[in-house]
Amino acid sequence: MPRPANPETRSRLLKKGGDLVSTRGFNATGVQEITAAAGVPKGSFYNYFESKEAFAVEVLTEYWDSVLATYGPILADHGTPPLARIARYFAGLVEFHERRRYAVGCLIGNMAIEVTPSSESVRIKLAAIYRQWMASLTECLREAQAQSELPAGKDPAQVAAALVDAFEGAVTRAKVERSRSPFDSFEGFVLPALVT
């Protein structure tokens, strides 16, 4: 009779394996490296994940849940004007990348480029994350429009999509250049142009 799955072991596999996938890439990280980093036997990986692809979906879920928990409350802070909340939100994300010395990039963007050509389940998960990300920004932008901060002629959903696209592009270029410069451009030019 197989031993029941241990939630601590699963959590360790996701944490240690997620760190490896973030820094080395999904395809360059094997199950052996993931289990070694987590300190568990290689065979036990499949007690927790049906496949490496299923593991990738769970790593993305953990990553996005962490982003929501850390930065989501900024957008929901109704004591601050909506556009100021959006600026603070992106500033927080920039600080996250700065702490990592711009070297790692965004797991969402990295997986979108590396894994979606070969994995439909990862593509579906990423599409859901992008929709959720844009929806939270759209809600804040609608509030900005109701308070006459965002011009009436701007479509909040289109602005939200453009913000996500532009920010993810800045993350990718910052990773390549190991520089804050793309974020300065996003914060100084792109964000103001989209919301005024």
Q: Which tens digits make up the pLDDT trace of 62-99?
A: 999 999 999 999 999 999 999 999 999 999 999 999 99
pLDDT digits (tens, 9 = 90+) for 180-191: 999 999 999 999
Q: What is the mean pLDDT of residues 52-64?
A: 96
What would the mean pLDDT of 22-46 be, rounded to a whole number? 94
pTM for the predicted model, two decimal places: 0.93
Q: Can you give the pLDDT at residue 5?
A: 72
Domain ranges of the chain: 1-49, 52-195
**Quick one: CA torsion of 143, 149, 152, 156, rounded to 10 degrees?**
-50
pLDDT band at 39 (very low <50, low <70, confident <90, very high): very high
Q: Which of 9, 183, 18 is nearest to 87 (CA)?
A: 183
pLDDT digits (tens, 9 = 90+) for 147-170: 999 999 999 999 999 999 999 999
The number of residues making up the chain comes to 196
Is the separation of the CB atoms in 164 and 132 below 8 Å?
Answer: no
Superfamily, domain 1-49: Homeodomain-like (1.10.10.60)
Helix, strand, coil percentages in the chain from 3-state DSSP, rounded to 5: 75, 0, 25
The candidate with the shortest Cα–Cα distance to 168, out of 125, 135, 144, 134, is: 134
CA 146 – CA 141 distance, rounded (Å): 9
| Token code pair at residue 29 | 């990280």
Q: Which residues, other chains included, contact 180 with Cβ-Cβ below 8 Å and sequence gap of 6+?
A: 94, 98, 102, 174
CATH number belonging to the domain at 52-195, selected among 3.90.1150.10, 1.20.1530.20, 1.10.357.10, 1.10.3720.10 = 1.10.357.10
